[in-house]
Amino acid sequence: DAGVIQSPRHEVTEMGQEVTLRCKPISGHDYLFWYRQTMMRGLELLIYFNNNVPIDDSGMPEDRFSAKMPNASFSTLKIQPSEPRDSAVYFCASSLTAKAGELFFGEGSRLTVL
Amino acid sequence: GENVEQHPSTLSVQEGDSAVIKCTYSDSASNYFPWYKQELGKRPQLIIDIRSNVGEKKDQRIAVTLNKTAKHFSLHITETQPEDSAVYFCAASSNYQLIWGAGTKLIIKP
């Protein structure tokens, strides 16, 4: 397996624009996580899915953020409208379990909002 | 809820010396404690983990110890090498998710 695949790797956009980040988890992994990483706040869990169903979205910072998982092999994280404070690296990760097994991270999407 | 504190935030050691990073957690029900390494510009990757029924685990130059009574666990790296330079994150399981420490930047001085 190629691992968790994220796109785009880098995105530069202007404030107010819509941003869509994409993730393909490892085949067979039932859990998918979206994390945000910044220097100030470290690694923050935004939302996670189990079998394509959102289980906990309490980490989603605002209504501007939304995530979907239409099938077992694809998830999106959307920010609309984007703001400069959304600038961060967004990681997608997948796992066989929710909390007691290895998380496999994608390479991340570095978002810069001007 | 669970809280994980990690110290130090930065650690600088001479190549060949040992490095120790410590984490404390608050939820006595936590039972899984992984350590992740993140090299500059790369993704976090699991390097070692320990479960609450074990007090120590080793894998070549790295080891993790767990003290459930005191609710702390530590990462030990012996004979440090330049490729050990990275940010290291501890985490503790709580209910349905991992709670992460803030990270330790490990610098290996030549």
Q: Which residue from B minimizes the CA distance to A33?
A: B97
Contact residues, B window 23-82, toward A, CB-based 8 Å cutoff: 31-32, 34, 36, 42-46, 49, 51
Q: Is B94 a residue whose pLDDT tops 90? A: no
> Cα–Cα distance between A82 and A110 in angstroms, integer?
14
pLDDT of residue B1: 73
Confidence of residue B4 (pLDDT cuts 50, 70, 90): very high
Residues A5 and A57: their CA atoms lie apart, in Å, by: 22
Give me the pLDDT at residue B96, please.
Answer: 66
Q: Which of residues 15-44 of A touch B (CB under 8 A)?
A: 42-43
pLDDT at res. B93: 87
Chain A within 8 Å of B2 (Cβ-Cβ)? no
- SS3 readout for chain B: CCCEEEECCEEEEECCCCEEEEEEECCCCCCEEEEEEECCCCCCEEEEEEECCCCEEEECCEEEEEECCCCEEEEEECCCCHHHCEEEEEEEEECCEEEECCCEEEEEEC
Comparison of pLDDT for B1 and B13, the residue scoring more: B13
Residue in chain A nearest B50 by alpha carbon: A100
User: What integer best gives the mean pLDDT of chain B?
Assistant: 94
Question: Could you read off the pLDDT tens digit of each residue along chain A, which spans 114 residues?
Answer: 689 999 999 999 999 999 999 999 999 999 999 999 998 889 999 999 999 999 989 999 889 999 999 999 999 999 999 999 999 999 999 998 776 788 999 999 999 999
Nearest CA in chain A to B47: A102
pLDDT computed for residue B97 by the predictor: 78
B31-87, pLDDT tens digit by residue? Answer: 999 999 999 999 999 999 999 888 999 999 999 999 999 999 999 999 999 999 999
Residues of B in Cβ contact (< 8 Å) with A43:
44, 89, 100, 103
- What pLDDT is attached to residue B52? 83
